[in-house]
Structure 1
Amino acid sequence: MRTIKKYPNRRLYDTQASAYVTLAEVKKLVMNGAAMVVRDAKTGEDLTRSILLQIILEEESAGVPMFSEAVLSNIIRFYGHTMQGYMGSYLENHVQSFMDWQSKLGANPQALSPEVWAQFMQWQNPLMQNMFSGLANPSQNVMAQMQEQMQKQIQKNAEQMLGVLGLRT
C-alpha cells in the first residue's frame, strides 16, 4: 500500500517515491490502479476520500463533466435518506460491473471514441443484451436488500406504535 502524506501547507508527499507529488500525479496513480492511502502528516487521519473527491471535482470542473446537474442533485438527495447506504452499494456494483464488462472486451478506455463506441453498440446488439443481462443481478440483489430493510423498518415502527398505544402482544 502506497502512503501519501498531506502536510498543513497542502503539499502531498509520496513516501514510496520520497518526493512531493501533485494532485495530477495522484490521479495518475489512481488511473494506474495503484493501491494507496492519503494520511494527514500530523494526525495520521485517513484523507483518501477527500483527495479522491478533490480529483473528481477538478475533473468535473475542467473539460467535459461526467455527471449532469440532475445526477448530482439526485445523489445529494440520498444523503440522510434511509436508502443512503444502498445507493452507494448500488452505484459501486454497477460501476464495477461496467469495469468488468469493459475489461472483458479488452478495450482500452482511451481507445474507444464515442463514435466507435456507438458503432460497436449497433453491431453488437444481441451480444450487448447478453452482457448487460449480467448487470441485472447486482441491481436485483440491491433491490432485494432494500426491500428487506424497508420491511424490517416498517415492522419495527409498527411494533413501537403498538407499544405506545399499549397494544403490544
Structure 2
Amino acid sequence: MKKLITVIAASLLLGSSVFAEGYLSANDLAVGEIKANQNEEDGFVINASAEKIVVIEDKSKESVMCDGEKIVNRLSTKGSGNAKERSVSFPAKSGETIYIYAQSSGKSGSRPVHVINADGAEIAEVAAGSYTETKDVKAAKVKVPANGTYTVYPTGGTLYIYMIKVAK
C-alpha cells in the first residue's frame, strides 16, 4: 500500500511540473501604483520602476467580460513598455497557449503587443483592439514554442491588461 501511495504521489508531483499553467487577473491585484517589480501567483511578475510605473485601476463602473468572467480592475501600463518595464513576465511550457486579454488605451485603431522569450527574441506580435465603452474583450492567442519565461508588453502607448492565462 505504501508503494502505491508513493507511486501516486510521485505521479501527481511529476504531472504538475509538466505544465506551467496559470493566470494573472487584474481582479486579484490591489488598486494602486506599482513602482518596482512585483511577484504574483503562478510565477507572474509585473515589471515596473519608479520612472515607469504600472497602475492597477478600479474600473468597476466600466467592467469588461473576458471569457465569461467579469473583470472590474485593469492593469494600465501608462505608456509603451519593454522587457524590463511596463510589462508582465511569466513561465510557460512548450505546447501551451498564452491568452492575452487586453485593449489599447486609444479609442480608435489597435496597438501592438509583443511576446518575447527570456533571450529577448520576439515570439509573436499581436494586436490589442481599441478601448470602447461596451466591452467583451477577446483573447489574443500565442502558441508557446519552448519551455521558458515569456514577457508581454505594448509599444505605441498604453495597454490595458485585464487577464493573461497560460493553458494547455
Into which bin does the TM-score normalised by the smaller protein fall?
under 0.3
Higher Cα radius of gyration: 1
1 or 2, which has the higher helix percentage?
1
TM-score normalised over the length of structure 1: 0.22
Higher relative contact order (CA 8 A, sep 6+): 2
1 or 2, which has the higher strand percentage?
2
